[in-house]
Amino acid sequence: MAADQGMLRDAMARVPAGVALVTAHDRGGVPHGFTASSFVSVSMEPPLALVCLARTANSFPVFDSCGEFAVSVLREDHTELAMRFARKSADKFAGGEFIRTPRGATVLDGALAVVECTVHERYPAGDHIILLGEVQSVHVEGKGAPAVYVDRRFAALCSGTGACLAAAERGAHAHAG
C-alpha cells in the first residue's frame, strides 16, 4: 500500500532544505529558471550533483532538453526572488541581479555559491525528473547566511551553543514553477 500523499508532504515539509535557483537557456538563448530545494551533491569523483523538477513546471521542456544548467545557492535575503522563481510568471529574471558566467550560464550575482553543470543523465521519477549534472565550474562567495526552507516557510539559521532554526514570518511554498 502506498503512503498517504498528504502525510508524506507533511513529513517532507519538516526536513530543512537549502534553496537555490536553477537556470538554463532554451535553444534561442533565452534564460529560464525555477526554485529548487532539492539540490544535492552526489559524488566528488566524478563531481556530480542533482536537482529535481516537476513535470508540470513551465520550464520543464527547457530542462528536459538542455545540455547545461547552473545552480545559484541563495542567501536568506533572497526569499522574494525564490518566491518569484517558484511561481509560474512571465519574466522571472526582471528585477534581479543576474550575470553571465564565462561559460555562458545566467546566474544570480551575489549568490552564496554558483555551480555550473553539464547534463550527465536524466531520470524520470514519478511526477518529477531528476537532472544529474557533472560539475564543470564552482564559484563560492561565502558571505551571508543561506536561505532555508522548512515547514512550508523560509527560516533563518542561528549559531551559538547549539543550532537553532527560527521560522521566518514570511512563508509560502518554495517549489518549482
What are the pLDDT digits (tens) for 64-95?
999 999 999 999 999 999 999 998 877 899 87
Among 3-12, 35-44, 135-144, 152-161, the minimum mean pLDDT is found in 152-161
What are the pLDDT digits (tens) for 88-99?
877 899 876 999
Q: What pLDDT sits at residue 160?
A: 52
Indicate the class that CATH gives domain 5-167. Answer: mainly beta
Q: What pLDDT sits at residue 175?
A: 43
Q: What pLDDT sits at residue 142?
A: 65
Q: How many CB atoms lie within 10 A of CB 149?
A: 26
What are the pLDDT digits (tens) for 110-142?
999 999 999 999 999 999 999 999 999 999 986
Q: What pLDDT sits at residue 159?
A: 59
Q: State pTM to two decimals.
A: 0.86
pLDDT (average), residues 29-55: 96
